[in-house]
A and B are shown apart, each in its own frame.
Chain A
Amino acid sequence: MTIVSEIYDNQQILSTDRPEEESVLGSERPINSVSVIEDIPATKPALKGLVSFQKDETLRFVFNSQPRPWFSPALLRKLDKIGKGVLKREEFVDLIEQIAEICADFYQIEPGRVIAVKFDGHIVESADTEIDLLLKIQGKKFDVPIFVWKVGSESFSGWRT
């Protein structure tokens, strides 16, 4: 149990550096959430060197950050260009398409659902229809700018065939 508690202590230190973020989807776990497993029955170590669990001990697992979709270096470069305001319209459309596709794939969002996604890759809200989503997120403030997207569709609205 010494090993487990050391990890816990280290992660507690890391967790203070990150701001709190809200999460919506079931696959996400809130930052700093702690899973507690109590009343673990005592077991006998089968082999020498293995950690033994004592009955009165509690295991704690600390999640410092939510799972993040993997962004390619090219995508990160485009995100950086957004901050500098040098992204062309076509590049901007490509960027949000790529982020939306990565997120929808990562969180396994079914086609047809509409989602609000932060530019860091987190899905902050989802709904069945575009107007439901817009009403849900109206008035909400987010620490990172967001965009809206319809999963499995080429765009959110417009003239589509």
Chain B
Amino acid sequence: MENLTDGKTGIIKKYKNKKAYIRVKGAILNLETSRQIPLDFECQIDTGFDGGIMVPDSYNLEAKSINVEARVTSITLADGSKVPAYVCAAHIQEIDTHILPLPGKAVMLVMCGNRKSELLGMDALKHCTVFFNGPNQTFTINV
């Protein structure tokens, strides 16, 4: 994905397949043992999703492998239906080229379904400024 740097407003990125994607790196941390599962996603920005990051529920097993137990809950999908899901805390350490101070920003990691692309929700973006330019198919993000 092409980056167009704008010194005043952050990084301008082009849409990919008419959607806004951004590279996010982080980890599921076990704060007691310092073990971690690294996360590295090309996340689709979803302003309707109020969680942090949504990943497939297979990550539940990975979290368990470092003794982080995801907790069950129910979430509302975009069609209004409610489904069970697992949630745990994860830490975002990089958003595109922006590096956050360790251990990173804690966000809610929602594990549900088996969709291919990960989603970046409003909880993860609450400290960011994002402008979407629909006609130009670009967005600007400032962390």
Contact = CB atoms under 8 A, between A and B. Distances in A.
Interface of chain A: mostly helix, strand, loop or mixed: mixed
Contacts of A159: 48-50, 76-78
A112 to B, nearest CB: 14
Interface string A117-161: 000000000000011001101110000011111000011111110
Contacts of A92: 74, 84
A134 B67 CA distance: 14
Interface residues of A, number: 26
Given A89-B84, A97-B74, A157 B68 contact: no
Interface of B: 30-32, 48-52, 67-69, 71-78, 82-85, 87-89, 106-108, 110, 121, 123
Contacts of B82: 90, 93, 154-155, 158
26 contacts: A96-B74, A97-B74, A131-B123, A134-B88, A135-B106, A137-B71, A138-B68, A138-B89, A139-B30, A139-B31, A139-B67, A146-B71, A148-B71, A148-B72, A148-B73, A149-B73, A155-B73, A155-B76, A156-B85, A157-B73, A157-B85, A157-B121, A158-B49, A158-B50, A159-B78, A160-B76
Contacts of A97: 74
Interface string A23-64: 000000000000000000000000000000000000000000
Interface of A: 89-90, 92-93, 96-97, 116, 130-131, 134-135, 137-139, 145-149, 154-160
